């Protein structure tokens, strides 16, 4: 069949062997790193579009691979997903972030959730457990998810979402505008927030049509009463456009890179004094 044909092909290609070997080694190291709790969590400021004050943070996983250095989440998250490590990794990040956010009273916390975690029927229970353990306030927590899973598994997605809703956490649709984003499911699932993908924000400085697309996207969200966060904001020109459209939250290098909790402490104190 098709599958065996593919593996035969891979078997006879030295390059692919090397690639698979490297991937296998990455997987082994990642498993060890997760077990030893060597992954870390950094926090990127999310600011109010109105006055630029920090309103919360997005938690992002980091892995410093022993003997190699930093591995990008775009590399290790997919590996965690295909090797059954994502549940453990995801709960570690959620737990650590919920514990840490208590240092900043009033802050909202966003945590990324992989389809693999969301698919697990026990996921809402796991979240509930972390909430109880850390005494984090569910209303301050937003779980960010991308659209793929919702399109492919509408019914199961609805059940999982209902379970999470009952806990009181919020659910945001991440990376909107990056894929085949459609109006239908945006409405169907009742997301609490939309995050516009950075590719669309970056295009604002390049193409006139991107400005129109941004306006249409935010107008759509507003018509459904869904507040909008723009991610990947890097320039003042982008801020100007985003304010005009009515985006209420901004996130990007212009306001702060993902940073350690200790570095967020100083941002917290700065904005508290303002």
Choice between 87 and 144, CB closer to Ca ion: 144
Q: What is the DSSP letter of 103?
A: T
Q: Which stretch binds ligand C2E (CB under 6 A): 7-15, 27-35, 106-114, 129-137?
A: 106-114
CB 77 within 8 A of CB 27: no
- The site partner of 60 among ligand C2E, Ca ion, none (C-beta below 5 to 8 Å per kind) is ligand C2E
Four-point Cα dihedral 247, 180, 182, 72, nearest 10: -40
Closest to 123 in 3D by CA, of 163, 80, 79: 163
Out of Ca ion, ligand C2E, none, what residue 261 binds, judged by CB under 5 to 8 A for its kind, is none
d(CA 52, CA 137): 24
Work out which of 55, 60, 101, 226 binds ligand C2E, going by CB under 6 A.
Answer: 60
Q: Cα 88 to chain center, whole Å?
A: 16
And the tokens for 66? Answer: 């022993």
Contacting residue, 44, 112, 142, 160, with Ca ion by CB under 5 A: 112
Encoded tokens for 239: 């801020």
* Shortest reach from residue 125's CB to ligand C2E, in Å: 18
b/e map 237-273, b = 16+ CB within 10 Å: ebbebbeebebbbbbbebbbebbebeebeebbeebee
Q: What angle do CA 2, 149, 175 make, to 5 degrees?
A: 115
Q: For the segment 114-143, give every residue that binds ligand C2E (CB under 6 A).
A: 114
Smallest distance from ligand C2E to CB 39, Å = 8
Q: Least CB distance from residue 93 to ligand C2E, whole Å?
A: 4
Site string for ligand C2E, 195-234 (x = CB under 6 A): ---x--------------------------------xxxx
Residue 44 engages ligand C2E in binding (rule: CB under 6 A): yes
- With CB under 5 to 8 Å by kind, the binding choice for 226 among ligand C2E, Ca ion, none is none
Asked if 61 interacts with ligand C2E (CB under 6 A), we say: yes
Contacting positions for ligand C2E (CB under 6 A)? 44, 60-61, 72-74, 77, 90, 93, 112-114, 144, 174-175, 198, 231-234, 252-253, 258
């Amino acid at each position: 069949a098709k599958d065996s044909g593919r593996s035969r092909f891979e078997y006879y290609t030295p390059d692919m062997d090397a690639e698979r070997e490297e991937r296998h080694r990455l997987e082994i190291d990642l498993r060890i790193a997760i077990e030893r709790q060597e992954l870390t969590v950094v926090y990127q400021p999310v600011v109010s579009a109105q006055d630029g004050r920090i309103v919360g943070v997005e938690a992002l996983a980091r892995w410093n691979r022993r003997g190699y250095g930093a591995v990008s989440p775009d590399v290790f998250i997919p590996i965690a997903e295909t090797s059954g490590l994502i549940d453990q990794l995801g709960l570690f990040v959620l737990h650590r972030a919920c514990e840490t956010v208590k240092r900043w009273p009033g802050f909202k916390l966003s945590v990324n959730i992989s389809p693999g975690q969301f698919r697990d029927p026990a996921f809402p229970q796991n979240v509930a457990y972390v909430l109880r353990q850390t005494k984090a306030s569910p209303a301050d927590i937003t779980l960010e998810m991308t659209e793929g899973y919702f399109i492919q598994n509408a019914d199961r997605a609805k059940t999982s979402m209902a379970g999470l809703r009952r806990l009181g956490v919020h659910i945001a649709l991440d990376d909107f505008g990056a894929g085949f984003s459609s109006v239908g499911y945006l409405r169907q699932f009742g997301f609490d927030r939309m995050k516009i993908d950075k590719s669309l924000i970056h295009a604002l400085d390049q193409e006139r049509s991107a400005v129109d697309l941004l306006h249409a996207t935010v107008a759509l969200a507003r018509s459904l009463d869904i507040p909008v966060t723009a991610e990947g904001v890097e320039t003042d020109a982008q801020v100007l456009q985003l304010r005009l459209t009515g985006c209420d939250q901004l996130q990007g290098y212009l306001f702060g890179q993902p940073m350690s909790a200790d570095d967020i402490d100083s941002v917290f104190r700065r904005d508290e004094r303002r």
